[in-house]
Amino acid sequence: MNHAQYEERLAVYRDLTPAEREEVDRHLQACPQCAALREAYRSIEEQLAVHPAIAPDERLQAGFYAAVAQAREQDRRLVRQAGVWRTVLALGNAAAWAGVAAVVALLVLSLAITWRSAVRRGWPGGMPTTPLAPATDLVGTEWVLTALNGAPLREGTYITLNLDHGEANGFAGCNRYSLHYELSGDGKLSVQTVSITEALCAQPEGVMAQELAYIEALRSATSYRVLDGRLDLLDAAGNTILSFQRREPAAMDPADLAGTAWQLVSWNGRPPLEGSRLTIAFGEGEISGEAGCRGFTGLYEASGDHIRFPMLRMSETEPACSEELLWQEEEYTTCLGWVTHFRLDDGQLELLTERGETLVYAPAPPADHRTFTDPAFGVSLEIPAGWGPIEGYDARYGGPEGYFDLSARSATLSIDEAVALEVGHKLQPYGSNPTVEVLTIQGQEARLILPSADQHESMEQRALLIVRYPAPVTIRGDTWGYLLLGADQGHIRELAATLRFLSSVQAGPVEGWKGTLVKECSMAQFDDYFQREDGPRYGVAGATEELEAQIESLRCRPGTRVQVWGHLETETMDVSGRRIVVERLEVLEQPPTPTPWSGPTEEPIEGWEGKIVPCGWGGERSFLRTDGVLLAIESNTAEAHEALYIAECEGYPVRIWGILKHEAAGLRIVADRVERAEAVAMPTPTATPDLGLRSQ
């Protein structure tokens, strides 16, 4: 950048980005003349700041911009004509001061002519306010935050603002928020009643602190300006605290979605897990698809390029999947709940979420397939619609273009021993030199045997997939550890990609199941669940108001063991798609009753040890100290707020610092510092009928 360009930036120093300011500041340290010029500009800014800003009419605005452009062009001509560096500085400074004089003259003139608007609107650096968009022009617009208090957003975060008539909403980085606002024609902005959900996001690092800063900036905004697709919100001092870029709508016709089917190929730039299948198909207002483990159905609403999925329902049949695939399924279905826009172009579908995610789909395979389910072998497959049972075989299916069959292998073998038995057979069913590929199917180890070129023609190009069952299965009285899927080589990979293991969990009675009731942390999709002692989790609800109240009380007591009777519902919107409706509940054991507080009613807290529990006295988040004392807890800093959320959800012990305060509702901890602690001794469960929770 040359010297004249630095001088031009001095006049608009307050509007520069942090990086641009840093570059100019380095030049000022090396150039005393420019530093003096910057001080002169600062003096003019301070003098102008004591006078109320005015709103010049369109004629004066046009004249003002013409004068500024003329001054800059004069400066550039003078620079080009200069023969020596000293002459460049002299002429450049003179031109710059001529520009400043023009600014001041126009401000005084417009003040005399258009005094009707004497409300200060914070012209940055003494420059004129950007022409304002009428308030009605902002209705229905959508914006993406680009700068917060002059700094870019943290990497991997995304913040939006959607404006309507007096109302706005958006995504703040972790939570959805809404607010009411008022705009006036002279640039005034009044933000009222900001509301926000209370989920926790541990990643990206610092996202919760940034979210709190954003909400605070919204509340402190008092004016606005719009120019070239950018919306700035300013505080009472005229500082730009929020800068947004407009998200332009795309010309989409939702009718083009009906009758299409898609398979996910990219999720924020990464593919789905190997061997998994994530799909979505659109009907008339309805959707269906596969989430990696289970299928789903639901509804969608679309207008223009906007789309949302207000309801998703998981299928009743629940495959036995690995933790990795279950996690992906939950993330995928949750992600669909955040979708707000779509793009359909060049044979590709993109779903865009409020959180800034992009899901890219390619057309799904032809629809001339159907789902084949074999309860005996505990599997389902997607097969050509025309395939059916082949006579003379027990478990073989196919059509003119191919076939498949199912069998099983003993659980006493390793998977490689099972492969050796197949390829080492003396009849060489897969030729003399078959290929063996190592795969993972539904999170289970698998091997694919492909025949060599000398395979006998009577084997009909047979290939074989061997997959370990998630748990041994019983078929016709015998126990098996491996599924064997045989098929012609042209179809084996297609069939393997759609293979799903079925679960034995079905709706029915619940007879004396033992486990614990757990209240989920604030960020969870569901508020509680029943953890059965042998591992599975189920949603839980009381059959009566009394039982529901008892469940709510017990779930706030970590470590309480219960026994329940009732019935199990499946295909429901709850944990893992299933829910226990409790008709009878007995307490087996529970932690000791929290110790009544006997200390002072207000005192400093220095490094107390314990755990954060989702609910305690009054159903609030609470701190359970190592000696059994249970107290409600809140925070007064962004860092402590985030730390409490994380400790609650991850369940690790903490040390806290802050103040213990006495309030009308009881004692409460106000924490200003929360640190993770090493393992600490917590009260051990003991049988007691007393369910009372005390805070003092």
The predicted structure's pLDDT at residue 267: 83
10 Å Cβ neighbour count for 632? 22
The predicted structure's pLDDT at residue 112: 39
Q: Report yes or no: 298 and 330 within 8 Å, Cβ to Cβ.
A: no
The predicted structure's pLDDT at residue 70: 61
Q: Strand order in 369-374's β-sheet?
A: 369-374, 379-384, 500-501
Q: Is 503 exposed, middle or buried (0-12, 13-18, 19+ CB in 10 A)?
A: buried
Could you give the C-alpha distances from 389 to 35, 372, 485, in angstroms and in order?
88, 11, 15
Q: Report yes or no: 153 and 146 within 8 Å, Cβ to Cβ.
A: yes
The predicted structure's pLDDT at residue 116: 34
The predicted structure's pLDDT at residue 248: 86
Name residues whose C-beta falls within 8 Å of residue 491's C-beta, 6 or more positions apart in sequence.
402, 403, 404
Dist. CA 245–CA 227, nearest whole Å: 10
Q: Which residues of 386-402 are buried (b: 16+ CB within 10 A; e: fewer)?
A: ebeeeeeeeebbbeeeb
Secondary structure letter of residue 483 according to DSSP = E
- Omega cis (within 30) before 509: no
> What is 525-593 written as a DSSP string?
SSSEEEEETTS-EEEEEESSHHHHHHHHHHTTSTT-EEEEEEEEEESSSSGGGEEEEEEEEEEEEBPPP
Spell out the domains of the chain, with CATH numbers in brackets: 3-126 (no CATH), 135-246 (2.40.128.270), 254-363 (2.40.128.270), 369-501 (3.40.1000), 508-589 (2.40.50), 603-676 (2.40.50)
The predicted structure's pLDDT at residue 115: 35
The predicted structure's pLDDT at residue 243: 94
The predicted structure's pLDDT at residue 109: 41
Averaged over successive runs of 10 residues, the pLDDT of the chain (696 residues) comes to 68 76 79 74 63 52 60 49 38 45 45 36 38 65 92 89 90 91 85 83 84 92 89 92 90 91 82 81 90 89 92 74 83 91 85 89 75 76 85 83 92 89 92 93 87 93 93 74 94 87 64 84 66 72 90 76 86 66 90 61 86 68 82 85 78 88 76 83 40 30
Question: Which amino acid is located at 11 in the chain?
Answer: A
Secondary structure letter of residue 205 according to DSSP = T
The predicted structure's pLDDT at residue 100: 46
Dist. CA 588–CA 519, nearest whole Å: 18
Of 145, 175, 182, 149, which Cα lies nearest the Cα of 162?
A: 145
CB-facing half-sphere around the CA of 168: CA atoms within 13 A: 27
Longest dimension (CA), the chain: 106
The predicted structure's pLDDT at residue 104: 45
Dist. CA 194–CA 161, nearest whole Å: 12
